[in-house]
Amino acid sequence: IQEPQLQGQDTGMQCEDDRTGIGVETLKRAFLDNLFYVQGKFPALATKHDYYMALAYTVRDRLLQRWVNTAAIYTQEGSRTVAYLSAEFLMGPHLGNNLINLGIYNQVQQAMTELKLDLKELLAKEEEPGLGNGGLGRLAACYLDSLASLEIPTLGYGIRYEFGIFDQLIRNGWQVEKTDKWLRYGNPWEIARPEWAVSVKFGGRTEAHKNAQGRYRVRWIPHKVVLGIPYDTPILGYKVNTANTLRLWKAEAPESFDFEAFNRGNYYGAVDQKVTSENLTKVLYPNDETYEGKQLRLEQQYFFVSCALQDMLRIMLRQKLPLEQFHEKFAVQLNDTHPAIAVAELMRLLLDEHEMDWEPAWEITQKTFGYTNHTLLPEALEKWSLKLFSSLLPRHLEIIYEINWRFLEQVRHKFGTDEGRIGRLSLIDENDGKFVRMAHLACVGSHKINGVAALHSELLQKTTLLDFYEFFPEKFTNITNGVTPRRWIVLSNPKLTNLITSCIGDNWIKHLEDVQRIETYAEDPGFQQEWQQIKRENKVNVAEILLDRTGVKVDPDSLFDIQVKRIHQYKRQHLNILHAITLYNQIKQNPNLDITPRTLIFAGKAAPGYYIAKLIIKLINSVAEVVNKDRDIGDRLKVVFLPDYNVKNSQPIYPAADLSEQISTAGKEASGTGNMKFAMNGALTIGTLDGANIEIRNAVGAENFFLFGLTTEDVGALRLTGYRPREYYEQNPQLKQAIDQIASGYFSHGDRSLFKPLVDLLLDKDPFMLMADYQPYIDCQQQVSQTYRDRDRWLQMSILNTARMGKFSSDRAIREYCQQIWKVQPVPVQLAAEKTGDG
Ligand code: NBY
């Protein structure tokens, strides 16, 4: 149905296609069309969710053109491709991000307004794919955004968990977990590709056989086979035509029905196999920072890695590339050790399935992989018992033994027979039972090993991976993490985005170093005024969210002091709470005290099996209950725990922060990325010399950062000389009062047993040294309060923080990966219309 005058208004040109056009009238027409033809609804019957789906399909149509073009060009050019292997991709909602990257946010907003709909409400309808735990999974998502924006051919490979990270409810102050049924209403962003399904083997045994040339090869006779079905999601870059692919694998039974069993009348037996196979990708393990030696977890890891590598081999065969060029076609990055079994699997595929010899196969393998380490915590280092490993992956264990034997020969050659060193380097841990050490497999099988912040990489080389560093120092490098300014500034903080763009243009969105140019306005009263106004509006927004979700009313003019991240002892949310109790006591002792009013906001999930972390959540809520209802305290102090922290809920938070809490024990937080999101949005940081805090402080200037606490060296030295946490408690009256109140039941309706485990831990062991850092932290917070009263100084510091965060864009990080590790070049994509110049 042609409406010529409307089309004329859209573009000033002849014709806009309903599936690609981006004029307001075209968008409205396409949207109503999708509502009718995809959702089967007309406006009078449509729900908000129907409208969300119609809009999602309207946006997807506009992605598909770029996606198909991108695939065509990569195929045609046989482009070198990054394969990012990650057990987690914490993507967050797609719709808003795609509107930003397509550059059609404003048109769509107008189109919805004209249809009497509210874009914000529709955006809120999206169920986010929470296919990750925290920083590691979210980093993978930021990297996919930057890879597409930098026009780097990329495949993200992972698992299509049917249930992502649990939803968190707070009941009586405790965390309660609820399953995340994110696929319940369908997922408009993915396309299943059953035609590219692959088989993955498990268990059984191996046997030798002679091949056609009469040479011995190994055959793996598995106990079971599972099908991997790929589901593809387009990942569009910012204002480019590149749309890469996130390919997530779902496990299915090879046949939906075992017909033999069915015919024997065993209906339940027949569906049984289907049920067990599909269990494989049912749920994401909700642990961060501690691995669990669960069989299903190892099955998940091997499953997606095997699917990914088989998929890459299929792509090579289709492009008629010889397998000897595998490492030239693909740069494969291992996001932590979760996909490290890829080293043995690529060897198996090359040796057993493609009959390559060991030496060339090993050379290809080592040239293919890079390994990113994300933690120094010993409890997080993955190791699998030989018993489990051999029962599930018998052939891989043989290959790992061979890799190990050859590797340890080289070690002996270089260092002589130093049994201690050999034991420490071995891929097999024989100290206390026998285990395969996945980090060792990743190190030996990769050509580059990187940490995620300067301090972390240095500590890796000096401690956790010291022996490997001494053996092949040239493999080690650092790539400091970054986050994407598209989601974390442009989408999350549109008002700040407009202010910055009105001053310096919009080039900073692609080149965040450019944001430095707002420094000249740091002391400009007019600019400061606008900066403050925007922060205030963002705080009012969060105040409304807090009232809605928790019933707590907070004052938007108070200092918003925020700690949002997974709950973990090393991240020390309980140190923050000790500060809250201290402020509370100060006001109670001096009811007329003129202090800087504060709102302390917490959010984050605890691993369901991590008892102390759950107790910390209970403590935060218990303190909040006492503080918030105390009339002596009034508006001077509020404590709020916002439930169900996830990507969607976090987006309004960063722009509303005055103060960002980054208070981990020095040496424990590998990098942190929330610290970057806060500072980019003009929050000042109170932090220790840990992870990327150090680099953030260097970038923004020591005078614009609130530093406190022990250094990594101090922590080590104190531990060595004998750390006695109870002495700090006994010698510090404020600290003693706070701890005694927790112990006495002051915050738990008189219950003295509730927080006893936490109190005992702090006084007897205090593994994360809260007692030692308490007073320096309190003193530093006092400085924060003082500074906040000097409005102009605070605003200047805030502006300088944003201005100097250029380095922490994931674009910079990805450029470094491309140059140092992957050796890949951009492959620009043109749309057919652009090439012929006709529209
Ligand atoms: O990776 C985080 C680090 O703690 C943080 O400092 C860093 O900024 C971020 C990105 O480099 N690590 C992290 O998020 N780890 C996990 O989520 C995780 C998940 C699963 C398991 C271990 C760690 N696991 O063993 O199952």
The pLDDT value recorded for residue 259 is 59
For 830, other C-beta atoms within 10 Å of its C-beta total 11
CA distances from 224 to 3, 277, 278, 318 (A): 59, 9, 13, 28
Query: Residue 136 Cα, ligand 1 centroid: separation in angstroms?
Result: 4
The band of 11, judged by pLDDT with boundaries at 50, 70 and 90, is very low
Mutate to test the pocket of ligand 1, among 133, 334, 464, 808 (most ligand atoms within 8 A of CB): 133
- The gap between the terminal CA atoms of the chain, to the nearest Å, is 21
**Residue 628 pLDDT > 50:** yes
pLDDT in tens, 46-59: 999 999 999 999 99
The pLDDT value recorded for residue 258 is 63
- In the chain, DSSP finds a helix count (H) and a strand count (E) of 35, 25
Q: Each residue of 514-523: b (16+ CB within 10 Å) or e?
A: bbbebeebbe
CATH 3.30.465.10 fits 78-93+128-481, yes or no: no
CATH architecture observed for domain 485-808: 3-Layer(aba) Sandwich (3.40)
> Is residue 307 classed as helix, strand or coil in its secondary structure?
helix
CATH 3.40.50.2000 domain span(s) along the chain: 78-93+128-481, 485-808
The pLDDT value recorded for residue 151 is 98
The set of protein residues with a Cβ atom below 6 angstroms from ligand 1 is 133-136, 139, 285, 287-289, 291, 374-375, 380, 382, 452, 481, 669-673, 691
> Which among 60, 571, 579, 636 is annotated as catalytic?
571
For 585, other C-beta atoms within 10 Å of its C-beta total 15
The band of 262, judged by pLDDT with boundaries at 50, 70 and 90, is low
> Which amino acid is it at 170?
I
> Which among 60, 94, 374, 383 is annotated as catalytic?
374
Give CA–CA dist 808/797, Å, rounded. Answer: 18
Q: Treating both helix axes as pointing N-terminal to C-terminal, what angle do 105-114 and 95-102 enclose, rounded to 10 degrees?
A: 120
pLDDT in tens, 645-687: 999 999 999 999 999 999 999 999 999 999 999 999 999 999 9
Catalytic status, residue 571: yes
**Residue 390 pLDDT > 50:** yes
Give CA–CA dist 43/51, Å, rounded. Answer: 9
CA distances from 310 to 211, 224, 249 (A): 22, 18, 12
The pLDDT value recorded for residue 266 is 76
CA distances from 362 to 396, 445, 471, 518 (A): 14, 8, 18, 51
pLDDT in tens, 266-305: 777 767 778 889 999 999 999 998 889 999 999 999 999 9
The pLDDT value recorded for residue 16 is 86
Mean pLDDT of the chain: 96
- 3-state SS track over 758-786: HHHHHHHHCCCCHHHHHHHHHHHHHHHHH
Structure tokens at 711: 């250094």
Nearest to 548 by CA among 627, 643, 456, 646: 643
Give the lowest-confidence range in 12-21, 618-627, 664-673.
12-21
Give CA–CA dist 733/775, Å, rounded. Answer: 11
pTM over 0.95: yes
pLDDT in tens, 488-517: 999 999 999 999 999 999 999 999 999 999
pLDDT in tens, 774-795: 999 999 999 999 999 999 999 9
**Residue 2 pLDDT > 60:** no
What letter would DSSP give residue 483? Answer: B
Q: Any residues with CB less than 8 A from the CB of 212 and at least 6 apart, and which?
A: none
Query: Which residue is closest in CA terms to ligand 1's atom 26?
Result: 291
What number is the average pLDDT over the span 436-443?
A: 98
The pLDDT value recorded for residue 581 is 99
Give the lowest-confidence range in 258-272, 583-597, 702-716.
258-272
More confident residue, 565 or 14: 565
Residue 392 near residue 299 (C-beta atoms within 8 A): yes
What number is the average pLDDT over the span 746-759?
A: 98
Structure tokens at 343: 């080293």
pLDDT in tens, 246-258: 999 999 998 755 6
Place of tokens 């202010």: 499
Give CA–CA dist 727/771, Å, rounded. Answer: 9
pLDDT in tens, 787-817: 999 999 999 999 999 999 999 999 999 999 9
Mutate to test the pocket of ligand 1, among 90, 136, 450 (most ligand atoms within 8 A of CB): 136
Name the burial class of residue 594, with classes exposed (0-12), middle (13-18) and buried (19+) by CB atoms within 10 angstroms of its CB: exposed
The ipTM value here is 0.99
Residue 669 near residue 786 (C-beta atoms within 8 A): no
The pLDDT value recorded for residue 274 is 81
Give CA–CA dist 810/812, Å, rounded. Answer: 5
Residue 228 near residue 247 (C-beta atoms within 8 A): no
